């Protein structure tokens, strides 16, 4: 469920941020198209670098935390105003290897998504599910056939899943027993949209 579009006065857009690279203890950020070298704890153009580990970083923009990863599409915070939360389309650009990686949030907490059109549901590794505060005791334990054989997984329902400026409610998901580098954005989310692929660009238009 996404809020209806309501006309509202234009507001200054939040910075769009992308992690272009890591140089030791500093990150190469692209902020609104401008490259900036930022150290942990420093603030540049409204973006503060909170943490840096491997090819991932955590930044703060207007009081909200965002997870970034090298090669992922630019991300901006989603304001609570109706004109932003009602955005009907998600536009993703392919990264290295042709994969669509983007930033978003589950129940208000930042995550890194990898679009997987072959996955039946959104799939989350158990350590990430614990970080997100999901109550696995309330989930349903089932057996699932995977490439690594049959494993026990937990079925849950995510209250809110946000990608870009579009938020969808009550999304079925599965929690896998192992750690995963990304949250797989499967068809329990994707089928809420009409999907169009144009070369290295994927467009997801919210179904009415």
Residues 181, 92 within the same domain: yes
Complete DSSP assignment for the chain = --PPP------PPPPPEEEEEEETTEEEEEETTEEEEEETT-EETTEEEEEEETTEEEEEETTEEEEEETTPPPB----SSHHHHB--EEEEE--GGG--EEEEEETTEEEEEEE-TT-SSEEEEHHHHHHTT--GGGSEEEEEEETTEEEEEEEEEEEEEEETTEEEEEEEEEEESS--SSEEE-HHHHTTEEEEEETTEEEEEE--
CA angle 102, 67, 75 (to 5 degrees): 50
CA angle 25, 28, 29 (to 5 degrees): 125
Identify the domain boundary among 71, 97, 114: 71
Residue 110 domain-assigned (yes or no): yes
Residues 95, 157 within the same domain: yes
Sign for the pseudo-dihedral over CA of 38, 43, 45, 47: positive
pLDDT band at 73 (very low <50, low <70, confident <90, very high): low
Residues 99, 199 within the same domain: yes
Q: Are 113 and 188 in contact (CB under 8 A)?
A: no
Query: Mean of the per-residue pLDDT values for the chain?
Result: 81
**What total number of domains does the chain contain?**
2
Residues 183, 134 within the same domain: yes
Residues 127, 47 within the same domain: no
Q: What is the pLDDT of residues 138-196, one digit of tens each?
A: 889 888 877 677 888 999 999 999 887 788 899 999 999 999 999 999 999 999 998 98
**So what's the pLDDT on residue 79?**
47
Residue 93 domain-assigned (yes or no): yes
Q: Are 122 and 171 in contact (CB under 8 A)?
A: yes
Residues 20, 88 within the same domain: no
Residues 66, 90 within the same domain: no
Residues 121, 195 within the same domain: yes
Q: Looking at the predicted structure, is the pLDDT value of residue 5 above 70?
A: no
Residue 10 domain-assigned (yes or no): no
**So what's the pLDDT on residue 4?**
33
Identify the domain boundary among 71, 93, 111: 71
159: CATH: 2.40.70.10
Residues 90, 161 within the same domain: yes
Domain ranges, residue 30: 16-71
């Amino acid at each position: 469920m996404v809020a209806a579009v309501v006309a509202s006065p234009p507001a200054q857009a939040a910075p769009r941020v992308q992690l272009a690279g890591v140089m030791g203890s500093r990150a190469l950020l692209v902020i609104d198209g401008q490259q900036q070298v930022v150290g942990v704890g420093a603030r540049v153009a409204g973006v503060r670098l909170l943490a840096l580990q491997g090819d991932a970083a955590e930044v703060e923009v207007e009081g909200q935390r965002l997870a970034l990863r090298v090669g992922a599409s630019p991300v901006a915070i989603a304001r609570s105003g109706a004109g932003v939360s009602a955005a009907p389309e998600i536009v993703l650009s392919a990264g290295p290897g042709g994969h669509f990686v983007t930033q978003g949030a589950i129940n208000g907490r930042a995550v890194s998504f990898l679009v997987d059109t072959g996955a039946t549901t959104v799939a989350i590794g158990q350590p990430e599910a614990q970080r997100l505060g999901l109550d696995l005791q309330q989930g349903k334990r089932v057996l699932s056939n995977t490439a690594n054989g049959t494993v026990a997984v937990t079925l849950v329902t995510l209250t809110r899943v946000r990608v870009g400026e579009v938020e969808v409610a009550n999304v079925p998901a599965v929690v896998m027993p192992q750690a995963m580098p990304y949250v797989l954005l499967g068809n329990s989310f994707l089928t809420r949209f009409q999907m169009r692929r144009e070369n290295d660009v994927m467009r997801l238009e919210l179904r009415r």
